[in-house]
Amino acid sequence: MPLHHFEDLEVWKRSSRLAVSVLELIEPMRLFALRDQMARSCISVPSNIAEGAERESDREFRRFLAIAKGSAGELRTQLYIGIRAGYFSTEAASPLIEESRQVSSMIEGLRKKLGGGGMLGLLFGWLF
């Protein structure tokens, strides 16, 4: 039985909307390698939030949130590359970059709320 209902999480809702926006932006791209990688990373964010929420422990949920946060950073990098390579304008990509940054912050906030503190928390919890 899942401990969390991912459909109720604002971070899942926002990351899902972000994924749709990115998919709309990249649909006409002719550089298929970048387009496919961007599609995978943007879809990965809400998908990992959902998968983690369906797991049986907060520890597993935190692990999947870390993966989702990594995918959000990957997506931001790809958006920057797309701008610099001329595949889309700064005006089109900047709101998506900002939304990705906010989603990352929300993911980190949820991870902290779930506890565990990450590797530093484990290290300092063990030492002190």
Scanning the structure block, which residue is given the tokens 């909307």? 17
Fill in the amino acid letter for 128: F
Whole-model pTM?
Answer: 0.87
Alpha helices per DSSP H over the chain = 10-26, 32-53, 58-84, 90-114, 118-127
Look up residue 3 and give its DSSP letter: S
Are 117 and 125 within 8 A, CB to CB? yes
Scanning the structure block, which residue is given the tokens 């300092």? 124
CATH 1.20.1440.60 fits domain 6-127: yes
Q: In this predicted structure, what is the pLDDT of residue 56? A: 86
Fill in the amino acid letter for 84: R
Per-residue tens of pLDDT for the chain, all 128 residues: 445 689 999 999 999 999 999 999 999 999 999 999 999 999 999 999 999 999 989 999 999 999 999 999 999 999 999 999 999 999 999 999 999 999 999 999 999 999 865 444 444 434 33
Are 75 and 38 within 8 A, CB to CB? yes
CA dist., res. 10 & res. 21, Å (int): 17
φ, ψ (nearest 5 deg) of residue 4: -135, 150
